[in-house]
Amino acid sequence: MRTRLLACWVAALLALAISQTNADEPAELNIGVVASVTGPFAAPTKDTFDGFNAWMKQQGLPGKKIVLQTLDDETNPVNAANAFRKLASDPRIALIYLFINSNSAMAAKSFASEFKVPIITGGGADVLGIPPDPWMFKVAPSNRDYMIALSEYIKRKGYTKVAHLYSTDTFGQYDHTNLEKLAPQYGYKLVAEESFAIEDTSFNAQFTRIRAANPDLIYSSASARAAILAFKQYRQLGITTPLVVAGSAISAAFFNAIGGPAAADGLMMMTQRGSLGEGLGGESANYYAELKAGMGGQTPVFFNVFGFDVGLITAAAITQSDGSRQGIRDALEKLKDLPAINGPVTYTTQDHTGQDARSITLGKLQNGKPVPAD
Amino acid sequence: MDTTVFLQLLLPGLTTGCVYALVALGFVLCANVSGVVNFAQGEFVMLGGMAAAWLIGLNVPFVLAIVAATAIGGAVGAAQEFLTLAPVRQQPHFIQITTTVGFAVVLRGITLIVAGKDALSVPGFSGDGVFFVFGAILPVQSLWVWGATLLMLVGTFTVLRYTTIGRAVRACSINLQAARLMGVNAERLRVIVFAVSGATGALAGVVITPIVLASWDAGLTYSTKGFIGAILGGFRSPMAAVLGGLFIGLLESLGAGYVSSGWKDFIVYGVLLAWLLIQGGVFLRGRAGAAAGGQ
């Protein structure tokens, strides 16, 4: 009898000790990440991770340990869909990030609701946010928002002839469709509409046709390697027409490949407010300073800011939810004008775009840093 | 027709075509001595560019980096034959061809791990300037691409025509079994030809990189376009393969410039399809079939 009583005491003490140990450890938040670790979109993805890691370092989630489980989609929509399925099937995963391009994100959207896991996604394509999938939340403004901002600039400058260089992937197609729709409203004409595949290495024919069309402004939707080659060939051909590039074109790899930041002086970029850095003001400026500090003082680029903003959205959703998949989803949909570096984040039941045209600005590069374009 | 626009499309097309031509040549030479379509051929172009950029990044002297990158291409070509193809020599052809695809994927993966995912650049051999041809603007590096291609083609065809090894390669392309009976050491010859193809592709990669950058995933495009060039050339004659590769480069550029940039690939693959149908006698057979049906 005494032995049995002693055993009960020992068991009770052990249980207490174990529960005490668990209480000391922060609860884990498992986040699945589908990322283009390799392939043409690898450079922006690395920048995104750098920005997100800076958020983890500077803020993170107090009392919670974030565990990332990352799968590479190799910048391939089929792989992205498979990777998403695998992560979403794991009941431990509370939230999924898609650090991939629009093409791949579109592939995941087609069955986002199937697994009922909240998703925070990259990608600029309009349809990622409108019409919304109840479980998918986009961060950056849609292509349409960007094209509205560009059209307003074109109208302000009195330009009437515009050339568009765009990729044949989803992002490029949406940019182009929106420009076509907006052109009559803003009083300009697309005088050259040139496409390319993201693996193309020559843009000579496209720029030859663009030059022959004599536009007032050229807008290039190229990103990653294509953006580097397009800019090099634009410069090589001695074209003097102002060139505006997508914000995603500018990365550390871009500057390295063109011979340093100064080589891009005067290049204009469609970008989000975060690119203006210290000049942002308010809470955005504080976050920007944190991002920069988190990156060891290195000047953040477009996708660094995106990565940091993903962290801010995550923190808001987690702290306002019970941590369940449904709870995080509901909290995300209730976010209204959440301060972030690139601009306020708002979701509604009708629109899961996140940031909107308020977060977009047209910058001009000066020694690698954007200043507001005139 | 505007001469400046024509030249602005023609000459860069010729530059790209030079690389396709060298890849096509590699395809045909390897196929002639081994009977295998080497789908890793374009990866040597990638490897040459990446190796040169990587070495220059490590402050290796420029000329040494170029020589080393070419040598790496040659060594990897020889290794491909010796380590991956020789062991499956007795296997059916599709196994051997699949092995070359596997080798291409492995080579790509290793390059990614060693050199990283970002596109790498190499400064132009004579600076990053441009020159003018009747108003058309071209990077000076184009001259290096044309010159290097010409040099490699002259070298290759001289070897093929005037040396014992060259004669042996030609003999193998005509009748492998008969060449063996005449004392040709086909095993040794295969290693040599794969090494030369690897080195040629790598040098092409080195000279084109200042214009198009080097990237670990660029090889597939070169393989595809070089393969099409080789097919258009009949996949037997090295000279025809070279012309086929040049033709693809020009077709791409002129098609994109004069028809539409969106139609570029459609035009190239459309020409390939039409050529295959014509070569296969499909149109003739169709007519014969119709005639027979009408009887």
Q: Are A299 and A367 in contact (CB under 8 A)?
A: no
pLDDT tens across A122-138, in order? 987 888 999 999 999 99
Per-residue DSSP letter, B163: S
Contacting residues of A for B137, CB less than 8 Å apart: 236-238
Of A23-32, A58-67, A264-273, which gets the smallest average pLDDT? A23-32
A326-347 pLDDT per residue, tens: 999 999 999 999 999 988 999 9
Confirm or reject contact between B117 and chain A (CB < 8 A): yes
Amino acid A300 reads P
- Residue A317 has what pLDDT? 96
DSSP result, B7-59: HHHHHHHHHHHHHHHHHHHHHHHHHHHHS---TTHHHHHHHHHHHHHHHHHTT
**Distance between CA atoms of B258 and A208, rounded to whole angstroms?**
10
Q: Is A239 on the interface with B (CB under 8 A)?
A: no
Is B86 within 8 Å of B148 (Cβ atoms)? no
Give the residue-averaged pLDDT of A159-172. Answer: 93
Residues of A in contact with B257 (CB under 8 A): 205, 208-209
Out of A40, A194, A204, closest to residue B12 by CB:
A204
Among A43, A206, A257, beta carbon nearest to B261 = A206
- Burial class for A242, CB neighbours closer than 10 Å (0-12, 13-18, 19+): middle
Chain B residues with CB-CB distance to A208 below 8 A: 5, 8-9, 257
- Which one has a higher pLDDT value, B76 or A17? B76
Could you tell me the two tokens for A147? 């094209």
Give CA separation, A337 vs A64, A170, A331, A340, A342, in Å.
25, 28, 13, 9, 12
Tokens representing residue A172 in the block: 């490029």
Tokens linked to A195: 């496409």
Would the CB atoms of B261 and A253 count as touching at under 8 Å? no
Instruction: Check if A202 contacts B (Cβ < 8 Å).
Output: yes
Q: B36 is written with which tokens?
A: 């295998």
pLDDT at B1: 58
Chain B touched by A43 (CB under 8 Å): yes
The shortest CB-CB distance from A225 to any of B119, B137, B264 is to B119
Residue A22 pLDDT > 60:
no
Distance from CA of A361 to the nearest CA of B (A): 27
Interface check for B213 against chain A (CB to CB < 8 A): the answer is yes
Restricting to A residues 116-175, those with a Cβ less than 8 Å away from any Cβ of B are: 168
CB pair distance less than 8 Å for B16 and A202: yes
What was the pLDDT predicted at B117?
77
Q: Are B30 and B193 in contact (CB under 8 A)?
A: yes
* pLDDT exceeds cutoff 60 at A6: no
pLDDT score at B283: 58
pLDDT given for residue A43 in this prediction: 85
pLDDT of B63 higher than 60: yes
Tell me the ipTM for this assembly: 0.85
Position A281 pLDDT exceeds 90: no
Query: Shortest Cα distance from B47 to chain A (angstroms)?
Result: 16
* Amino acid letter for position B13: G
Are A253 and B119 within 8 A, CB to CB?
yes
Give tens-digit pLDDT for B179-218. Answer: 888 888 888 999 999 999 999 999 999 999 999 999 998 9
Q: Cβ A201–B119 below 8 Å, yes or no?
A: no
Can you tell me the distance from the alpha carbon of B202 to that of B22, in angstroms, rounded to the nearest whole number?
A: 10
Q: Which residues of B touch A38 (CB under 8 A)?
A: 112, 117, 217
Amino acid identity of residue A50, one-letter, is D
pTM exceeds cut of 0.90: no
Contacts of B139 in chain A (CB under 8 A): 236
Q: DSSP string covering B122-152, please? A: ---BTBS-EEEETTEEEETHHHHHHHHHHHH
pLDDT beyond 60 at A20: no
- Nearest alpha-carbon partner for A111 in A77, A139, A143, A142: A77
Cβ-nearest to A236 among B130, B220, B257: B130
| Token pair 């492998």: residue | B176
In the predicted structure, residue A234 carries a pLDDT above the cut 50: yes
Measure in Å the smallest separation between the Cα of B214 and chain A Cα atoms: 10
Nearest to B213 among A38, A194, A229 (CB): A229
Q: How far is CA B253 from CA A200, A343, B105, B246, B261, in A?
A: 12, 42, 28, 11, 9
C-alpha to C-alpha distances, B204 to A306, B162, B200, B210, nearest whole angstrom: 39, 24, 6, 11
Residue located via tokens 């000047």: A299
pLDDT recorded at residue B294: 41
Dihedral of CA atoms B35, B39, B45, B48 in degrees, nearest 10, equals: -80
Which residues, 6+ apart, have CB-to-CB distance to B234 below 8 Å? B240, B241
Residues 42-101 of chain B with CB under 8 A from chain A are none
Query: Is the pLDDT at A10 greater than 80, yes or no?
Result: no
Mean pLDDT score across all residues of chain B:
90
Per residue in B34-55, pLDDT (tens digit) is: 889 999 999 999 999 999 999 9
- B16 CB neighbours in chain A (<8 A) are 201-202
Interface membership of B218 toward A (CB under 8 Å): yes
Q: Report chain A residues whose CB lies below 8 A from the CB of B262.
A: 168, 194-195
Cβ contacts (< 8 Å) between A168 and chain B: which residues?
A: 262
* Confidence bin at B295 (pLDDT 50/70/90): very low
Residue of A nearest to B252 (CA): A205
Contact indicator for B19, B222 with CB cutoff of 8 Å? yes
Contact (CB<8Å) A205/B212: no
- Please say if the pLDDT value at position A214 is more than 50: yes
Asked if A39 has any chain B CB less than 8 Å from its own CB, the reply is: yes
Q: Residue A285 pLDDT more than 60?
A: yes
Q: Which of residues 133-172 of B touch A (CB under 8 A)?
A: 137, 139
Query: H helices of chain B, where?
Result: 3-34, 41-57, 62-79, 93-115, 141-162, 164-174, 176-181, 186-212, 219-232, 238-254, 264-279, 282-294
Beta carbons within 8 Å of B208's beta carbon, 6+ residues apart: B15, B16, B18, B19, B45, B49, B145
pLDDT over 70, % of chain B: 95
Compute the distance between CA of residue B236 and CA of residue B282 in angstroms, rounded to an integer: 21
Contact status of A257 with chain B (Cβ, < 8 Å): yes
